[in-house]
Amino acid sequence: MAVSKKELEFNKNEDTMRMRISDMERKLEKIHLGGGKKRIEKHHAKGKMTARERIEALIDPNTETLEIGAFVGEDMYQEYGGCPSGGVVIKIGYVSGRQCIIVANDATVKAGAWFPITGKKNLRAQEIAMENHLPIIYLVDSAGVFLPLQDEIFPDKEHFGRIFRNNAVMSAQGITQIAAVMGSCVAGGAYLPIMSDESLIVNKTGTIFLAGSYLVKAAIGESIDNETLGGATTHTAVSGVCDYKSENDAECLATIRDLMDKIGAKEKAGFDRAESAPPELKEREIYGLFPEDRAKPYDMRQIVKRIVDNSEFTEYKKDYGKTILCGYARIDGWSVGIVANQRQVVKNAKGEMQFGGVIYTDTADKAARFIMVCNQKNIPLVFLQDVSGFMVGSKSEHAGIIKDGAKMVSAMSNSVVPKFTIILGNSYGAGNYAMCGKAYDPRLIVSWPTAELAVMSGASAAKTLAQIEVASLKRRGEEVDEVKQKEIYDKIKARYDAQISPYYSAARLWVDAIIDPLETRKVISMGIEMANHKKSDQRYNVGAVQT
C-alpha cells in the first residue's frame, strides 16, 4: 500500500522530534551525575546522600515533579571544569501532600560553591516561591561563593546577598521556609538557614559558621576544630541557632516531612478546576504534527487539541486575526485561556510566499482583547509561542502595527492572572516579548527541544552580519570573492546557530526547562496549581491598556 506524502512528512517530523528528545535525555543523564561518579562515591563514603538522592527521598512517592534549570551552566565555566546544573538542583514537587519548591546544593560540583549562574538559579527558585506563595525547602551543602568569580556573584543587586533579602521578604509574607544544613554552610551563606522559619542540622556532617577553623586561627589566633566551632551539637545545645538535630540525612528528611505535614491552609486564588480528562486525540501525534522544517505551515489547532482536556477548544474570534489563535479550554481540569501563534502561508511585499507565526495589526488587537477578557474572568493564560515577529513594511506601518503591538504588549504586561509560556518553535524578536517571553514574568516558561530564541533566525542574522562584514572588508580595499563571502557567512551562521539553540537559552535560565512535548500538560497543570496558592492583590486595570 502506497504511503501518502502527508504520511511521509508526518513520519519524518516524528523521527526528528524523537531524535531531539533522545539527545535531550542523553544530556540529562550526564548532568544528573553532577561532578561525576568518583565524587559521588566520595560523597557516599561520608555517609551523605547526593542532592538528587535527598530530593528523591524527601518528595512523596509516585508524585509528579518538575525540575527547574536542569541545563543551567551547560557548556559554561569550562576553564574551571564546568558547573553541571549550576551546582544546585531545584524541583517543584509534593512533600506530605503539599506542593513546594526544593533547593538542594550539589556538593559534588566544586563542593557546592556558588558560581554566578548558581546565584541566578537560586534567585529564580525564590522568585517562584514568592510569586506563588509556595513553601520552599533548602537542603544546604555548600562551600559558599566560588572565589575566582567573586566579583560576578557578590556585590550587585541580583547577586548572592539578594538571597538573604528574599529570605526576610518571604518571612514577612508568611511563606514557609525550612532549611536543613546537611553539609557545609559558611560565611554569608550561614544566614540562609537561620533566616528561614525553621532549621535542621545533621550531626557530624552539617556545620555552620561565619569563618572556619583555619580562618579563625589566622584572624584571632584561636585554635578550634570545625565541629566544636559550628557543628550540630554546638548549634542545637549551645548557640540555639538550629531547631532540630538529626543523626543522618534520612532522619533529617523525615523531620522535614513531619514539619510540612502540619502546615495550615491559606486563601486560594480561586482558579476554576473541573474533573480532569485526557485529550480525545492522541497526544503522541504532536511529534508528527509539528514540522521538522520551521518554514512550513501547520495548523496550531491540531497541537492545541492534543494538549487540552477532551480535545475541546472554544475559539475566540475564529475568523478574525488568523495568525493568532485565542480561546478557552481545560488542561488537567484547570480552566485556561490560550494564546497561540498560527504559522501559515503569507505573502511578502514582492508577492513571494512565506511562512511563520507573524503578528499583524488585527491579530495583535484580537490577542489584547482576549487577554483583557481572561483577566476579567480570572482565567490563567497559556501562551504557545511559534512566532517570527511583527509584520513589517509600509502596509503594516500605515495600518498602525506599532500602536496595536503596543496594545498587546500592554495588555499582557498588566495581566494579573498567572501566565505560562511554552516555546514550541520560533521565538524571534518582538514576537518573543508580545507572546510573554521571560522579561514579562511568566510564572513558568519552558521550551520544546525544537525551540529557537533570538532576535531573528540564524539565516537572516548571518546574512545581515555577513553583508556588514563584507562591506567593511571592501572599504579597507580587500578582495572578497564568492568563496570568501560564503566562508564569512558560514562562520557567522555557525556561531549564531549555537546561540539560538534551546540549550544555550536553558543554560542561561532564559527558560526554566526544556521538556518533552508530552510533558506540556503536566507543566501547565502544576504551574496553575502553584499559582492558585496566592490570590492576586491587584485588580486588572483595563484603563491601563490602550483601546
**CA distances from residue 75 to 215, 490, 529 in whole angstroms, order as listed:** 34, 22, 33
Residue 440 scores a pLDDT above 70: yes
Task: Report the range of poorest mean pLDDT among 59-63, 267-271, 397-401.
Answer: 397-401
Region label for 170, one of left (φ > 0), alpha (ψ between -120 and 50) or beta (otherwise):
alpha
CA-wise closest residue to 450 among 303, 252, 271, 328 = 303
> What average pLDDT does the segment 517-530 reach?
98
Please provide the average confidence, as pLDDT, over all residues in the chain. Answer: 91
**pLDDT of res. 47:** 93
- Rounded mean pLDDT, 387-414: 81
- The better pLDDT of the pair 190, 423 is held by 423
The pLDDT assigned to 542 comes to 62
Which pLDDT belongs to residue 2?
A: 66
Q: Is the pLDDT of residue 486 over 90?
A: no
22's enclosing H/E stretch is helix 5-31
| pLDDT surpasses 60 at 545 | no
Q: Considering the entire predicted model, what is its pTM?
A: 0.93
Q: Which residue has the higher pLDDT, 471 or 77?
A: 77
So what's the pLDDT on residue 190? 81
| DSSP 3-state percent helix, strand, coil across the chain (nearest 5) | 45, 20, 35
Average pLDDT over residues 372-376: 96
* Residue 547 pLDDT greater than 80, yes or no: no
187 vs 8: which has the higher pLDDT:
8
pLDDT, position 437:
96
**Tens-digit pLDDT profile for residues 82-125:** 999 999 999 999 999 999 999 999 999 999 999 999 999 999 99
Q: What percent of the chain has pLDDT over 70?
A: 95
pLDDT at 460 over 80: no
Higher-confidence position of 391 and 450: 450
- What is the reported pLDDT for 399? 65
Cα–Cα distance list, 404 to 202, 214, 407, 541 (Å):
58, 63, 5, 18
Identify the pLDDT of residue 488.
81
Q: Is 388 in a helix, a strand, or coil?
A: coil
Smallest CA-to-CA distance from 290 within 521, 458, 518 is with 518
Q: Cell for 62?
A: 509516585
Please check the confidence at residue 45 and state whether its pLDDT lies above 80.
yes
Q: Measure CA 220 to chain center.
A: 45
> Which grid coordinates are listed for 413?
504586561
Is a pLDDT exceeding 60 seen at residue 546?
no
End-to-end Cα distance, the chain: 56
* Cα angle 471, 475, 480; round to 5: 60
Contacts of residues 484-490 at CB distance under 8 Å and 24 or more positions apart, as own/partner, are 489/462, 489/463
Whole-number pLDDT of residue 543: 56
pLDDT of residue 15: 97
**pLDDT band, residue 402 (cuts 50/70/90):** confident
352 pLDDT exceeds 70? no
pLDDT value, residue 20: 97
Q: Span 502-521, mean pLDDT? A: 97
Query: pLDDT class for 461, splitting at 50, 70, 90?
Result: confident
| Mean pLDDT within 48-54 | 97
Region 7-33: mean pLDDT is 96
* H-state helical runs in 51-160: 51-58, 116-132
Q: Convert the pLDDT of each residue in 144-187 to its tens digit.
A: 888 899 889 888 888 989 999 999 999 999 999 999 999 999 87
**Tens digits of residue pLDDT in 299-351:** 999 999 999 999 999 999 999 999 999 999 999 999 999 999 998 765 555 55
Q: What is the pLDDT of residue 368?
A: 96
pLDDT at 481: 79
Give start and end residues of each alpha helix (H) in 104-263.
116-132, 161-173, 191-194, 213-220, 226-230, 232-233, 249-261
AA identity, residue 187: A
Residue 379, classed as helix, strand or coil, is: coil
Whole-number Å distance between alpha carbons of 224 and 352 = 78
Q: Is the model's pLDDT at 353 over the cut of 60? A: no
pLDDT at 422: 98
| pLDDT at site 393 | 72
* pLDDT on residue 394: 76
Question: Per-residue confidence at 1, pLDDT binned at 50, 70, 90?
Answer: low
